[in-house]
């Protein structure tokens, strides 16, 4: 007879009674990372040895920035139709194109149209959709909340320090396409170059605001900061009495993890700031950005282990994207795989209203459904919060916290009492994901403005 002892051990035979069936292979997939010299399947990299491929300088020099370089790199892997589609996509994209060899090598070139890595970085004209009628270039109004160029002060005790405007790769879906990268045919960028002179005004503002305790250093991408600049920014901020927390934000570990392994000067500068903060009783962490489990390979694991051994805490901020990770099982695998590498899943963002990438956005309902699926599959501290970064400057709101959600017309209304009290912030589902009748309504400004006004009124009525 079994006892109720939590250990589930039978006292008569000392045999453990398993109350759950053994985990099958599907439950352990997150531990199985891509191994070997997988990049050699790419024609341009077939003779590249491991030492060369892991060299961050080689990765930077061989990044894809033009359609001609892409053709030269993948010759024979993609159809002429795909190449022409990409050629037109490069011309029409609002974001500059820059893709590392590491990312190129993780794409499944047997099916590039549907590959989640290609979808994020290489634009195709055939996949472009009309922008939502309510889209604006700076949908989060970061510049409206900037007291000095390159500093967004929205939350009471936190500010965003945009240190530079370049990245190791350029994501099609970048929320800062108004500033990041070079000018394109679609967008003339705001200049936020890595300038110590510009930073001085930022340091002065932060030092004069005692309520500021938490600074996010982003851009652009701090991966591209020189070691001396990392030390300068880190030391200046840590020496301010009001600053308690710092976060260095970078896409780098997802798109060029070898830099952590081979750029020792950069790595040492980061560790210097982390250890300086720890001795002062202040938190310095790394925030990164993985969107799909295929981005994580044995190289990633080695890089994350090096950070872990030095005591660097790493959090991940993911963007929910159609055709990339809007499948519940894909998101679950990503979350589990990140946890396996000691990277804490932090946020999953609803895709911002970004120019030229309507094909990547999903509905709010999709985010709600996936969050329900993921929750409970791993420990709570390794379960991300699904958020909407409310357009118009409302900040990050839990996707479940909308005051009102008109699913038929794709309008959700949020409030942010501690950020901008009394205001309403609207997120819009992609029009092509709505029904035919609703799609027709979004073609008429008179009708859709009335729909928006009605949604706000209903949100106001539902508030306690």
DSSP character string of 159-184 = EEEE--S--SSB-TT-TTTTTSSS--
* 407 and 387 belong to one structural domain: no
pLDDT for the residue 461: 92
d(CA 297, CA 194): 31
Residue 320 DSSP label: E
pTM of the model: 0.91
The answer to whether 292 and 321 have CB atoms below 8 angstroms apart is no
Last residue of a domain, one of 374, 399, 424: 399
Number of domains in the chain: 3
* 422 and 395 belong to one structural domain: no
* 304 and 215 belong to one structural domain: yes
* 88 and 155 belong to one structural domain: no
* 107 and 56 belong to one structural domain: yes
180 falls within a domain: yes
pLDDT for the residue 27: 85
Residue with the two structure tokens 């300068």: 232
386 falls within a domain: yes
Q: Which helix (H) or strand (E) holds 245?
A: strand 245-249
8 falls within a domain: no
Residue 433 DSSP label: G
Report the first-to-last Cα separation within the chain, whole angstroms. 54
219 falls within a domain: yes
9 falls within a domain: no
144 falls within a domain: no
What is the chain's pLDDT, residue by residue, as a tens digit (464 residues)? 444 455 555 555 678 888 888 888 888 899 999 999 999 999 999 999 999 999 999 999 999 999 999 999 999 999 999 999 999 999 888 778 899 999 999 999 999 999 999 999 999 999 999 999 998 766 666 667 789 988 999 889 999 999 998 888 888 888 755 555 454 444 443 456 778 888 999 999 999 999 999 999 998 899 999 999 999 999 999 999 999 999 999 999 999 999 999 999 999 999 999 999 999 999 999 999 999 999 999 999 999 999 999 999 999 999 999 999 999 999 999 999 999 999 999 999 999 998 889 999 999 999 999 999 999 999 999 999 999 998 888 889 999 999 999 999 999 999 999 988 999 999 999 999 999 999 999 999 999 999 999 999 999 998 76
6 falls within a domain: no
Pairing of strands 404-406, 411-414: antiparallel
Last residue of a domain, one of 377, 399, 421: 399
DSSP codes of every residue in 48-76: --HHHHT-HHHHHHT-B-SHHHHHHHHTT
pLDDT for the residue 426: 95
* 389 and 439 belong to one structural domain: no
Query: CA separation (Å) from 328 to 74, 184, 188, 370?
Result: 31, 35, 37, 5
136 falls within a domain: no
* 163 and 107 belong to one structural domain: no
Judged by phi (left if over 0) then psi (alpha if -120 to 50, else beta), residue 302 lies in alpha
| Six-digit token string for 29 | 């997939």
Give 271-277's long-range contacts (Cβ < 8 A, gap of 24+): 271/310, 271/312, 272/231, 272/234, 273/230, 273/231, 273/234, 273/235, 273/238, 273/246, 273/248, 274/310, 274/311, 274/312, 275/311, 276/234, 276/235, 276/238, 277/234, 277/238, 277/246
pLDDT for the residue 187: 46
The answer to whether 386 and 337 have CB atoms below 8 angstroms apart is no
> SS3 of 154, please?
coil
* 330 and 362 belong to one structural domain: yes
Residue with the two structure tokens 């990049």: 39
d(CA 98, CA 39): 18
* 208 and 335 belong to one structural domain: yes
Length of the chain: 464
* 340 and 454 belong to one structural domain: no
Biggest CA pair distance of the chain: 78
The answer to whether 65 and 169 have CB atoms below 8 angstroms apart is no
d(CA 385, CA 436): 32
* 165 and 269 belong to one structural domain: yes
pLDDT for the residue 12: 56
* 171 and 192 belong to one structural domain: yes
Q: State the residue range of the domain holding 263.
A: 151-399
pLDDT for the residue 180: 54
């Amino acid at each position: 007879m079994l006892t109720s002892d939590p250990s589930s051990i039978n006292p008569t035979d000392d045999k453990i009674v398993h109350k759950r069936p053994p985990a099958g292979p599907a439950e352990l997939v997150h531990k199985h990372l891509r191994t070997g010299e997988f990049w050699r399947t790419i024609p341009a990299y077939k003779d590249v040895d491991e030492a060369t491929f892991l060299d961050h300088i080689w990765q930077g020099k061989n990044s894809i920035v033009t359609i001609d370089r892409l053709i030269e790199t993948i010759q024979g892997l993609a159809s002429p139709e795909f190449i022409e589609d990409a050629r037109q996509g490069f011309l029409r994209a609002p974001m500059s194109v820059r893709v590392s060899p590491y990312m190129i090598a993780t794409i499944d070139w047997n099916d590039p149209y549907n590959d989640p890595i290609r979808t994020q970085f290489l634009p195709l004209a055939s996949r472009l959709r009309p922008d939502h009628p309510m889209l604006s270039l700076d949908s989060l109004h970061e510049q409206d909340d900037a007291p000095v160029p390159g500093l967004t002060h929205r939350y009471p005790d936190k500010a965003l320090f945009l240190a530079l405007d370049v990245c190791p790769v350029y994501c099609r879906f970048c929320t800062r396409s108004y500033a990041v990268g070079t000018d394109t045919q679609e967008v003339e960028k705001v200049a936020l170059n890595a300038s110590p002179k510009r930073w001085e005004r930022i340091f002065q503002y932060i030092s004069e605001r005692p309520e500021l305790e938490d600074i996010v250093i982003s851009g652009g991408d701090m991966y591209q900061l020189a070691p001396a600049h990392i030390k300068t920014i880190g030391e200046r901020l840590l020496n301010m009495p009001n600053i308690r927390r710092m976060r260095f934000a970078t896409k780098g570990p997802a798109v060029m993890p070898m830099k952590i392994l081979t750029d020792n000067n950069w790595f040492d500068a980061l560790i210097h700031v982390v250890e300086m903060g720890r001795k002062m009783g202040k938190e310095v962490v790394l925030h990164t950005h993985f969107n799909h489990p295929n981005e994580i390979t044995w190289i990633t694991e080695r890089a994350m282990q090096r950070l872990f051994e030095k005591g660097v805490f790493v959090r991940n901020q993911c963007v929910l994207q159609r055709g990339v990770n809007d499948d519940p099982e894909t998101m679950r695998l990503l979350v589990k795989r990140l946890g396996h590498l000691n990277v804490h899943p932090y946020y999953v963002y609803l895709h911002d209203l970004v120019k030229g990438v309507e094909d990547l956005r999903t509905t709010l309902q999709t985010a709600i459904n996936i969050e329900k699926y993921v929750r409970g599959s791993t420990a709570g501290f390794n379960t991300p919060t699904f958020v909407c970064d409310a357009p118009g400057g409302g900040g990050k709101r839990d996707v479940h916290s909308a005051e009102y959600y008109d699913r038929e017309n794709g309008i959700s209304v949020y409030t942010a009492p501690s950020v901008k009290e009394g205001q309403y912030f609207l997120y819009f589902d992609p029009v092509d994901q709505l029904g035919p009748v609703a799609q027709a309504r979004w073609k008429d400004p008179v009708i859709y403005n009335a729909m928006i006004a009605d949604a706000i009124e209903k949100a106001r009525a539902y508030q306690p």
